[in-house]
């Protein structure tokens, strides 16, 4: 899928999950917290393509992301060789380990653990990487180096806005890991509706393959970057994300609804008032 499709689907899922927090975990994030969570999920939705040499994630941070990509690709290939089934083919460098449910759980858990252990430096680093990727993925909203400056400013603002409390606490670490894991998962789900599918269920054996490309029915798949995605899928995802933002964020900005005050009962002293216990009949 295109970067904008991955980023908007990640943002949409982030808005839904954060918006449902009051009903699911009994906590009401602030508007800033919801936007931060959605931004991290949007950026993390581009991370799985670190296994592709020309992806947004590989090119985003110059030599730093290039080095990360050149670590991810050999690792993915190694895991593929060690766990391949009798009918698996290819090298496992693209749409490999980073495109699995297990990979999303591992990275999300690692981010949560590292943030809880080392606190603010890890939290700020993950925020910056994900927000910078989100800006780039949302169809290059801000072109060129200034977008990294904007990402740095957003990171500074978002560092205290994450749901769960202060950066580096267990609550914040959990939300940060969840956002990263969900972003990676929604990326793979998006690739599963393209022609090639994604090995979401690795290492489960399916038809002699541990890296079986899970996907939607063939009639519902489309070519990544093709006309269907460009003219239909990407615009629909963008519209859905905007609609969710309009629906979720203003409610959080208003804060939780205050419980209604019980009506004050006026004590009636008239002994002849009807309906009163102990009233004296004439």
Where do the domains of the chain lie? 3-254
- The DSSP output letter for 232 is I
- The DSSP output letter for 231 is I
Chain segment 108-149, per-residue pLDDT in tens: 999 999 999 998 899 999 999 999 999 998 866 656 667 788
Alpha helices of 25-145 — where are they, by DSSP H? 31-44, 56-59, 63-83, 101-118, 120-137
pLDDT tier at 99, thresholds 50, 70, 90? very high
Q: What pLDDT, on the 0 to 100 scale, is given for residue 172?
A: 81
Average pLDDT over the chain, rounded to an integer = 84
Q: What pLDDT, on the 0 to 100 scale, is given for residue 1?
A: 85
Chain segment 12-32, per-residue pLDDT in tens: 999 999 888 766 655 667 888
* Of the candidate ranges 7-11, 117-121, 158-162, the one whose mean pLDDT is the lowest: 158-162
Spatial separation of the C-alpha atoms in residues 268 and 89, rounded to whole Å = 86
Handedness of CA 212, 215, 218, 221 (dihedral sign): negative
Q: What pLDDT, on the 0 to 100 scale, is given for residue 148?
A: 84
Q: What tokens appear for 3 in the block?
A: 């970067």
Bond from prior residue into 99 cis (ω within 30 degrees of 0): no
Burial class (CB in 10 A: 0-12, 13-18, 19+), 23: exposed
Which of 29, 14, 24, 17 lies closest to 256, judged by CA? 29
Q: What is the 3-state secondary structure (H, E, C) of 168-208?
A: CCHHHHHHHHHHHHHHHHHHHHHHCCECCCECCCCCCCECC
For 214, the 3-state DSSP assignment is strand
Chain segment 266-281, per-residue pLDDT in tens: 454 444 444 444 433 3
Q: What pLDDT, on the 0 to 100 scale, is given for residue 27?
A: 61
Please, which residues have CB within 8 angstroms of residue 175's CB and are 6 or more apart in sequence? 37, 162, 163, 164
- The DSSP output letter for 281 is P
Contact 45, 10 (CB under 8 A): yes
Q: What tokens appear for 111 in the block?
A: 């981010």
Contact 238, 15 (CB under 8 A): no
């Amino acid at each position: 899928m295109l970067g904008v499709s991955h980023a908007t689907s990640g943002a949409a899922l982030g808005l839904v999950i954060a918006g449902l927090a009051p009903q699911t975990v009994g906590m009401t994030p602030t508007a800033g917290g919801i936007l931060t969570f959605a931004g991290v999920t949007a950026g993390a939705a581009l991370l799985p393509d670190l296994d592709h040499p020309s992806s947004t994630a590989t090119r985003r941070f110059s030599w730093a992301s290039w080095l990360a990509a050149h670590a991810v690709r050999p690792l993915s290939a190694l895991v593929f060789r060690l766990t391949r089934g009798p009918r698996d083919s290819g090298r496992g460098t693209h749409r490999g380990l980073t495109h699995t449910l297990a990979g999303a759980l591992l990275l999300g858990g690692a981010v949560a653990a590292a943030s809880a252990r080392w606190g603010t430096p890890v939290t700020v680093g993950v925020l910056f990487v994900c927000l910078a990727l989100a800006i780039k993925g949302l169809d290059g909203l801000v072109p060129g180096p200034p977008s990294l400056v904007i990402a740095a400013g957003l990171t500074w603002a978002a560092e205290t806005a994450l749901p769960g409390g202060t950066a580096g606490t267990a609550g914040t670490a959990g939300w940060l890991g969840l956002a990263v894991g969900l972003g990676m998962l929604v990326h793979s789900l998006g690739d599963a509706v393209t022609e090639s599918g994604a090995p979401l269920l690795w290492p489960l054996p399916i038809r002699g393959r541990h890296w079986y490309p899970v996907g939607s029915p063939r009639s519902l798949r489309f070519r990544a970057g093709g006309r269907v995605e460009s003219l239909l899928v990407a615009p629909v995802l963008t519209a859905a994300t905007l609609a969710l933002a309009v629906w979720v964020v203003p409610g959080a900005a208003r804060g939780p609804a205050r419980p209604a005050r019980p009506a004050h009962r006026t004590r009636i002293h008239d002994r002849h008032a009807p309906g009163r216990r102990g009233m004296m009949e004439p």
